[in-house]
């Protein structure tokens, strides 16, 4: 989406990638969600930056996305909050769809 709107998202994606590398090295069953929360916070910021640059009418959807990220507890095991993680991705997909 960033390419389509000619938005330089690389710095934002670098932050997300740092967290995803850490997530890949965790045991999903027993890990806390600290790195998932970092990734969702960083990706929400990236989407917010795109929204502010090109889609000012989607501010409410970005706030919903940021709230969904905030619902993921960094201290709680991932499996104990699977619904919150899924909800974040549903909100992100909805936002991206509206940007399309």
pLDDT at 89: 95
Q: Between 92 and 17, where is the model more confident?
A: 92
Half-sphere exposure at residue 6, Cβ-oriented, CA atoms within 13 angstroms? 0
The per-residue pLDDT for range 40-84, each reduced to its tens digit, is 999 999 999 999 989 999 999 999 999 999 999 988 888 889 999
Which residues, in sequence order, are bridge partners of residue 32? 77
pLDDT at 98: 95
Reported pTM: 0.82
* Cβ neighbours of residue 82 closer than 8 Å, sequence gap 6 or more: none
């Amino acid at each position: 989406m960033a390419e389509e709107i000619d938005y330089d998202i690389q710095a934002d994606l670098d932050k997300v990638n740092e967290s995803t590398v850490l997530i890949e090295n965790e045991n999903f069953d027993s890990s806390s969600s600290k790195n998932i929360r970092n990734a969702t916070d960083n990706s929400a910021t990236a989407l917010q930056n795109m929204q502010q640059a090109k889609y000012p009418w989607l501010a409410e959807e970005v706030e919903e996305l940021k709230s969904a990220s905030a619902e993921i507890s960094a201290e709680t095991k991932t499996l104990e909050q699977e619904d919150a993680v899924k909800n974040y991705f549903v909100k992100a997909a909805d936002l991206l769809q509206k940007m399309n």
